[in-house]
Structure 1
């Protein structure tokens, strides 16, 4: 495409850099003042008042006006709450909510055909939206409604919504709509959805008269639209996008304005648009609106995305948010951890911090504690509180850098049942792996994520190390990863073999002719944690690879023998043989050779099912720049970028705070 300069009047969607990701055919995106050189197109925000200057400029200079709008699947939360858009519309003809003239969307539906592949893709994406119950915004609670016998939903809109005027409707359209709903359903109760700000007096609506009607039940709380669809058979709208989502939910939709989805034979229409002459299937309208008309970008990586990837990202955000919604009392956390704990609990969580646990539990109270604090003495001391305690721990794809060096995590796990490294009781991860029905699309995501982790050479901490290692060609090569011996994962998960020296001894006895590589844990190498070998153990291995990158080793070895190290899981990702001497979370599912047995783990898993439960469903992920929930794929992209930046630096170094903290930790350990 020829080089073009775009003039733009911004509308608070974030940086021009972020906007440029949606406008890739424009080589330069500038603000409307000054123009140098003159633009060949002017860009503004739809037909909103903020775009008047851009539209006038375009008209005065006989330039095309390109309209931008949020896409139909925008984000987890609202723009005013700081959520950047995942999707955006770029329309060269009009805009979808303006029925007075054709938009790009209307022209495609009027004149274009859709391939079988496009229709199948549309049907698949609609099925995903139904499964994950996604709407334009997804911050509202998704819970059953306390509604009695209402089978009809009437949807209000706030006064001044541009789609009302440009959809050939008015305030009278809403009164007509409510009257018609009452007349057509004379014996049923009518559920009327009114914006919360209307009831609060912050905005004006159109259906406040329903508050006093005996057959109307007004709902003003913020609620997921799919919870409304669960209750009703018929949905009445003027121009709300909720009407199109109701079509996806299989409801009869009655339109009293001209939204983009009216006039194609899918809705019961009060008005007529003479330009819309064709009948279209729901999949065709969806393909035009969501696949052709919208553009998608991951707002955290600033990289182009697809609708499917956007659905999975927002669905993961919504799932994490809903699971952790509510009030929390976080006890005993350092000031450093308090900086990010609230982010991992999500925007619907309300967190209060205190140093010690309360004396007595409150039934509705959820207590959050860092998992390593919960030992036998803790359980005895706080026996009454245990049913209320949720445990928090580092996730499996954590950071570029060590936690002991105060590197902020990108993933944490929050577990109400136990914790993944403690097999003495079930954890939520164990329950997920035992009971989840892993869908085909989830397994496909897991396979792609696994392959990407291997290709990018990512691990938990991504600490830099050498990559060159000389190994023999004629021996079985076994990697023995060292662990922090004071770690709770060994105390609870590896009672028989509990030191690195004992592990090396049992491996050498089992594999007397193998070439054994030992790699000390990074925290032990840093001097911050306990786990050094005794003198005799140093004779049991053939190569000390403590300074070699773990991913470089996993590419070369035949097998990994471990107590309970995450390295065993990372070896499985690369199809290496893994022997466990404890009971890590990945043992007992038919993928490893295990010295111990857990009778609760009674299911054989595929590798991708293990990855899906462990990396996609169990942890919480956060983008550190925005503090917003994200997902595993996004974190992998962020880590990829961080590793590239790290490798381009001349020499990795610790900040002064990290050096000071490391000295502090080492002195404390040395004093014990």
Structure 2
């Protein structure tokens, strides 16, 4: 007979024999008091509830674990739990006795539990994930007015289901009576209960929170639904349940872990992550097809738009994209640089929503021109952030969003981390040239102005550059405005790497730039200059993060909010923003991030962690030739006397 031992009786090693190595490393984070060991040498073997038990070594014990109330959704084929509940002696109200009295808890635990229950109710997380959550209004039913009976759709529970229906009928007293499938019931199982006269059957799987929106009184509740009902303030079998002691028992029985960095987490962080993933599920389900995505980007883009139902398809044909979007009732996600002229108008005429996709602002550890997939993306349902001709989603967000103190504090911490780590868009390696010469060799007393070069055929320059569209013209304008300044010109990294055309000859720079700096990351230069003068370069945004004065000659997304000196002020803007509000909108609220390791939606703070790990950023073997191609182009340019 296999033993199930209390954790206190086991030595400190654990194995997960039915998990992959990567999954086992994550699962071990739920038991930080134990070290991960091979199954043959571990004293404790852990398997998921429902899995067949493994063969136990003579001295090993067995525990089982289940997802519990905080179940994580899947994104395509990928998913990781954020909470687990070891099976064993649990309070009755966490099993199948929802009205059983909860165990006692101290005042601090009760306060924490009440806050956590309210957090779950606000975010509508907990219970079966990824079910439709239309709410009462979209179902055209009155909120909190019905006596709701949950059908378990399980023949072994028929007697209990009939008793719940009889109890509901006895207390309905003229109130609407609804019958609904229990959200946790197995898909495809037929309902057990027939609605009596005057009652309505909701014979579709709905989110627990939509059902609780409808209910004034809940009958036939499982232990799980009773916990959620207590958090939502819905009576269970005529009783108003206090959420605090019940959620205190839940917190005590639940283990939580960071799905990305494999470390223990508090219960509240698990709730936050589930809320983030729930929002990602809603957004991603809207995308029916992706258009114009280069083959080397498709795996990452599929992860960007993955949801519990799978991933969108890809096509390179605009007409095919419109047809698929109409057929599936979804949106088209198109790479912004490959959207055909007039395509947005065609989509509007066909009643199809168009989302443009572009690289985000903290992209990767390497150049996109070398076909390195990014981790952050700007997804825009209005335009594209670098085109000031029409309002973009980012512009609207910055113009209208509220920035509460907690969000501003988070933005300040993110900004400080970016500066401390020396993070930029591409995070390229580099150092000062050999010798002890300073990076910026300005004589004393001369203002030091950095002019970052841009790829001149880039869409941000073509669309947002204003009257100046060339690096040479920008240098001339800065020199004319500041004849006494020491101008430092830094070519764009793609030009330095040889991937794009537009490197300026030394003769053209003579008399304009006092110094040309190559091979040095931007964060190393910014503390050494007094101001950055730019067309639309992201270098201006990165300078703002570091407290450097910025002068814009085009109309970049960060201009027009009172933080820059704008030579060609953008239209429509004008709301004054604090720097942390700009950071909150641009780096937290607007972009979407995909963890390059797990390929799950993640917060921007995680990308900073991944930038410390070179192994997280992998170039496809099919595109390794881009490194040699860039070196060869750069060598040819230098041979011709270009810099």
Name the TM-score, length of structure 1 as normaliser.
Answer: 0.79
The reply on whether 1:639 has 2:611 as its aligned counterpart is: yes
Instruction: Check whether the contact 1:153–1:234 (CA below 8 A) recurs between aligned residues.
Output: yes
Look up the SS of the partner of 1:235 in the other structure.
strand
Q: Deviations over 1:72-92 (max 9, x none)?
A: 3231339x954210122357x
Q: 2:271 aligns with which of 304, 311, 316?
A: 311
Q: 2:124 aligns with which of 115, 119, 133?
A: 133
Q: 2:165 aligns with which of 178, 185, 188?
A: 178
Q: 2:474 aligns with which of 476, 485, 503?
A: 503
The reply on whether 1:447 has 2:412 as its aligned counterpart is: yes
CA distance in 1, matches of 2:536, 2:268: 35
Instruction: Check whether the contact 1:420–1:427 (CA below 8 A) recurs between aligned residues.
Output: yes
Q: 1:653 to 1:328 in 2, by over 3 A?
A: closer
The reply on whether 1:89 has 2:85 as its aligned counterpart is: yes
Look up the SS of the partner of 2:125 in the other structure.
coil
Residue 259 of structure 1 corresponds to none
Instruction: Check whether the contact 1:369–1:389 (CA below 8 A) recurs between aligned residues.
Output: yes
Q: Please, what is the CA RMSD of the aligned residues?
A: 4.0
Q: How does 1:426-505 map to 2 (within 5 A)?
A: 426-466=391-431, 469-471=438-440, 474-505=445-476
CA distance in 2, matches of 1:545, 1:478: 12
Look up the SS of the partner of 2:332 in the other structure.
strand
Q: 2:335 aligns with which of 347, 370, 381?
A: 370
Instruction: Check whether the contact 2:69–2:127 (CA below 8 A) recurs between aligned residues.
Output: yes
Instruction: Check whether the contact 1:9–1:51 (CA below 8 A) recurs between aligned residues.
Output: no
Residue 578 of structure 1 corresponds to 550
Q: Deviations over 1:72-126 (max 9, x none)?
A: 3231339x954210122357x7235687999xxx99x6454233xx655545544
Residue 26 of structure 2 corresponds to 18
CA distance in 1, matches of 2:176, 2:405: 40
Q: 1:3 to 1:236 in 2, by over 3 A?
A: closer
Instruction: Check whether the contact 1:140–1:224 (CA below 8 A) recurs between aligned residues.
Output: yes
Instruction: Check whether the contact 1:3–1:26 (CA below 8 A) recurs between aligned residues.
Output: no
Look up the SS of the partner of 2:159 in the other structure.
helix
Residue 391 of structure 1 corresponds to 356
CA distance in 2, matches of 1:370, 1:266: 52
CA distance in 1, matches of 2:397, 2:629: 40
Instruction: Check whether the contact 2:430–2:521 (CA below 8 A) recurs between aligned residues.
Output: yes
* More moved, 370-379 vs 332-341: 370-379
CA distance in 2, matches of 1:266, 1:327: 41
Task: Report the CA distance between 1:576 and its aligned residue.
Answer: 1.9
Q: Which consecutive unaligned segments of at least 5 residues does structure 2 have? A: 1-7, 638-643
Residue 523 of structure 1 corresponds to 494
Residue 4 of structure 1 corresponds to 11
Residue 235 of structure 1 corresponds to 218
Instruction: Check whether the contact 2:292–2:339 (CA below 8 A) recurs between aligned residues.
Output: no
Q: 1:119 to 1:23 in 2, by over 3 A?
A: same
| Number of matched pairs | 610
Look up the SS of the partner of 1:444 in the other structure.
helix
Residue 587 of structure 1 corresponds to 559
Instruction: Check whether the contact 1:141–1:322 (CA below 8 A) recurs between aligned residues.
Output: no
CA distance in 1, matches of 2:161, 2:432: 68
Q: 1:101 to 1:316 in 2, by over 3 A?
A: closer
Residue 382 of structure 2 corresponds to 417
Task: Report the CA distance between 1:174 and its aligned residue.
Answer: 2.4
Task: Report the CA distance between 1:184 and its aligned residue.
Answer: 1.0
CA distance in 1, matches of 2:50, 2:350: 56
Instruction: Check whether the contact 2:461–2:536 (CA below 8 A) recurs between aligned residues.
Output: yes
Residue 663 of structure 1 corresponds to 629
Task: Report the CA distance between 1:487 and its aligned residue.
Answer: 0.6
Residue 4 of structure 2 corresponds to none
Q: Deviations over 1:508-536 (max 9, x none)?
A: 23333333322211111122113322533
CA distance in 1, matches of 2:147, 2:503: 69
Q: 1:664 to 1:386 in 2, by over 3 A?
A: farther
Residue 146 of structure 2 corresponds to 151
Instruction: Check whether the contact 1:586–1:610 (CA below 8 A) recurs between aligned residues.
Output: yes
The reply on whether 1:142 has 2:133 as its aligned counterpart is: yes
Q: Which consecutive unaligned segments of at least 5 residues does structure 1 have? A: 162-169, 256-264, 268-280, 647-651
Q: 1:181 to 1:440 in 2, by over 3 A?
A: farther
Look up the SS of the partner of 1:358 in the other structure.
helix
Task: Report the CA distance between 1:656 and its aligned residue.
Answer: 7.0
CA distance in 1, matches of 2:561, 2:409: 20
CA distance in 2, matches of 1:160, 1:397: 53
Instruction: Check whether the contact 2:183–2:208 (CA below 8 A) recurs between aligned residues.
Output: no
Instruction: Check whether the contact 2:448–2:529 (CA below 8 A) recurs between aligned residues.
Output: yes
CA distance in 1, matches of 2:305, 2:341: 26
Instruction: Check whether the contact 1:196–1:220 (CA below 8 A) recurs between aligned residues.
Output: no
Q: Deviations over 1:258-278 (max 9, x none)?
A: xxxxxxx953xxxxxxxxxxx
Residue 197 of structure 2 corresponds to 214
Instruction: Check whether the contact 1:622–1:629 (CA below 8 A) recurs between aligned residues.
Output: yes
